[in-house]
Amino acid sequence: MQVYKAPLNDMRFVLLDLLDAGQLVKLPGFEEATPDTINSILEEGAKLCENVLHPLNRSGDEHGCTYENGVVRTPPGFKDAYKAFVEGGWLAMSANPKHGGQGLPELINFVFEEMVCSSNLAFGNYPLLSKGATALIEVHATTELKSRYVPRLIEGRWSGTMCLTEPQCGTDLGLIRTRAVPTDSGTYRVTGTKIFITAGEHDLSENIIHLVLAKLPDAPSGTRGISLFLVPKFTPRADGSLGPRNGVMCGGIEKKMGIHASATCVLNFDDAEGWLIGEPHQGLKCMFTMMNAARLGVGLQGLGIGEAAYQSAVAYAKDRRQGRSLKGAAEPAATADPIIVHPDVRRMLLTQRALNEGARALGYLVALNLDIARKHPDAAKREEADDFVQLMTPVVKAFFTDCGSLAANLAVQIHGGHGYIREHGMEQYVRDSRIAQLYEGTNGIQALDLVGRKLGQHNGRLLRRFFHPVTAFVEEHKGDERMAEFIEPLAKGLDRLRNASLTIAGRGLADPEEAGAAATDYLKLFALVAVGYMWARMAKIALAENGGGDDGFHATKLKTARFYMARLMPETSSLFAQLMAGKRTLMEMGADEF
DSSP string for residues in 281-312: T-HHHHHHHHHHHHHHHHHHHHHHHHHHHHHH
Is 517 domain-assigned?
A: yes
pLDDT at 550 over 80: no
pLDDT at 547: 60
Alpha carbon separation from 524 to 407, 438, 562 (Å, rounded): 16, 16, 20
Is 411 domain-assigned?
A: no
Amino acid, res. 574: S
Confidence label for 149 from pLDDT (cuts 50, 70 and 90)? very high
Is 433 domain-assigned?
A: no
Active site residues: 440
pLDDT tens track for 70-127: 999 999 999 999 999 999 999 999 999 999 999 999 999 999 999 999 999 999 999 9
pTM of the full predicted structure? 0.97
Amino acid, res. 507: R
Is 23 domain-assigned?
A: no
pLDDT at 518: 97
pLDDT at 548: 57
Contact 192, 198 (CB under 8 A): no
Nearest-angstrom CA–CA distance, 194 and 250: 10
pLDDT tens track for 196-238: 999 999 999 999 999 999 999 999 998 899 999 999 999 999 8
Mean pLDDT value across residues 318-342: 96
Task: Of 99, 75, 110, 101, give the one whose Cα is nearest residue 151.
Answer: 99
Is 268 domain-assigned?
A: no
pLDDT at 174 over 90: no
Percentage of residues of the chain with pLDDT beyond 90: 95
Is 139 domain-assigned?
A: no
Q: How many domains does the chain have?
A: 1
Mean pLDDT value across residues 316-325: 96
Is 462 domain-assigned?
A: yes
Give the count of beta carbons closer than 10 Å to the beta carbon of residue 107.
26
Give the count of beta carbons closer than 10 Å to the beta carbon of residue 3.
15
Q: Domain of residue 469: give its range.
A: 456-585
Mean pLDDT value across residues 289-316: 96
Beta strands 158-163; 207-214: pairing state: parallel
Nearest-angstrom CA–CA distance, 186 and 233: 19
DSSP string, 483-545: GHHHHHHHHHHHHHHHHHHHHHHHHHHH-HHHHHHHHHHHHHHHHHHHHHHHHHHHHHHHHHH
Mean pLDDT value across residues 168-188: 92
Mean pLDDT value across residues 431-458: 96
Nearest-angstrom CA–CA distance, 178 and 190: 7
Nearest-angstrom CA–CA distance, 587 and 391: 28
- The alpha helices in 141-224, defined as continuous H runs, are 143-155
Nearest-angstrom CA–CA distance, 136 and 127: 14
Assign residue 281 a region: left if phi > 0, alpha if psi is -120 to 50, beta otherwise?
A: left
Mean pLDDT value across residues 431-439: 97
pLDDT at 437: 98
pLDDT at 128: 96
Is 43 domain-assigned?
A: no
Task: Of 15, 30, 95, 21, give the one whose Cα is nearest residue 377.
Answer: 30
Confidence label for 40 from pLDDT (cuts 50, 70 and 90)? very high
pLDDT tens track for 341-374: 999 999 999 999 999 999 999 999 999 999 999 9
